[in-house]
Structure 1
Amino acid sequence: MTTIFSFVTDPLAHGFMQRGLVVAVLVGAACALLSCYLVLKGWSLMGDAVSHAVLPGIVLAYVVQIPLAIGAFAAGLGCALATGYLKQNSRVKEDAVMGIVFSGMFALGLVMFVKIETDQHLNHVLFGNMLGVQWRDVLEAALIAVPAILIVIAKRRDLLLYCFDPAHARAIGLPVGWLHFGLLTLLALTIVASLKAVGIILVIAMLLAPGAIGFLLTKRFDLMLILAAGAAIGSSVVGTIVSFHIDAATGPTIVVVQAFVFVLALLWSRWRPHPVAANS
């Protein structure tokens, strides 16, 4: 028992581990809730597209000396809007449009990053630096993640109806356009909040795995949200602590733990014919 207690408490004796754990939980919770909608809507590639598209925004923000989060948000949201416009005004399917837009913006960001002298490390931009965050970074992430979480919880049923049946949502008077734009905005904001912790690449896994885990385990959406958030927060805590003991990068370790939980959920869903259901 003492060994288990020490295994958990020893890492938390360090300030950088405390900050890393707090930001991991914040980012994990925000990503988990949005993950449920991305999985149900079939927008998995949209999370990939927006996360990659923020890179040129980061570089431009550095050049004009404004907060990097503003540039990242503008670029991510611009990518989402450009994807929607091209989908509506061309015969190309949405997945192809997203692939073209995000790969083009990501490549542009890499070119700009190499050409413009900056004190930012590319690995930190791509993969994050969770144990390098300061309390001001934690506060910045909280100011974005907490409102995003509250908005998703408050509007969860409207967003659910929009994801399942936009025509019915429009028929009963829901502002479908605002829900669409709002979901994209929340996605871009959550990615921005995650950048310093897990970077452009790893945030994709955090936006997909929790929702997929919840989807495998239940048919009830409210329970799906709870299971997704629990899986994400639990993986963040376990991954952060394990990374300390094995001397590994924290962000990738969290993603590995999430992938392991997904495999367990998949095996459980195979073993149990009917997913767990619960009354609202």
Structure 2
Amino acid sequence: MNDRPAGGPGTSQDDPEATDLSRPSIARVYDYVLGGKQHFEIDRRAAQGFIDALPDAPAIAKDNRNLLRRGVRWLVEEAGIRQILDIGSGLPTEGNVHELAHAVDPSTRVVYVDNDPGVLAHGRALLAGDATTAVITADLRDPTSILADPVVTGLIDLSQPYALLLSGIVQHLADDEDPYGIVGTLRDALPVGGYMLLSHFLDDDEPRAAKLERGFLEGGLGTGRFRTWDEIRRFFEGLEMVEPGLVYANDWRPDAGTPTDSPVHTLYAGGIGRKV
């Protein structure tokens, strides 16, 4: 097996302590699908499992990433948010959350959270000298520890409005891992005026969703749950939905750069809710 990232030697993922090559990494698989260079053969094989099931599958990740970018811009420009907690952030890529936020207000504080140590290594290199942004290694499955982490509490005042980003991560929680309890802990911790952006694989009663889910589960990644509209809507319980509500990813406040002919338009949903 090729034991170097696609980007070649000299990257922080060459550190064996920061890289687990015994199984594919969600962050690295997404990096591969998005056209990045920080992935290994084991990640590419896992990605190929769902690409074989649906050759247009990489467009799902791109549609979701574009939704995240539009959502972050709206949160900072329109909602006035100046604190962001991005859980399941993945590896740095073009148009990172802190870059989008800082383009509006350089004082916006951002904390990235991911359970892949490689994300921490890359994040530290990218964010060196940036006092407004930090990255920690933590697991979504332990939301209480995330909210209590000293890096999080040192940079974000959790008593004041902030944006919680759960972009394309909750779908990797199986039903028996209590996804609603986990999201509920994070959602309920939001202060009044806080926001939650959540996007998720969508099962809109079409065969491709079941086919892709099998591709994720059988292709090596082992996670990737497609949920129905009602199942996804339940994650927003108690929040006031920002217009246009929970919709297909490309229908959430599209801009001139939003593709109108995405082949996987009906396989991803997302929205933003506000704590009132």
After TM superposition, the score normalised by the length of structure 1 is 0.24
Which structure: larger Rg? Answer: 1
Structure having the larger proportion of residues in helix? 1
TM-score by length of 2: 0.24
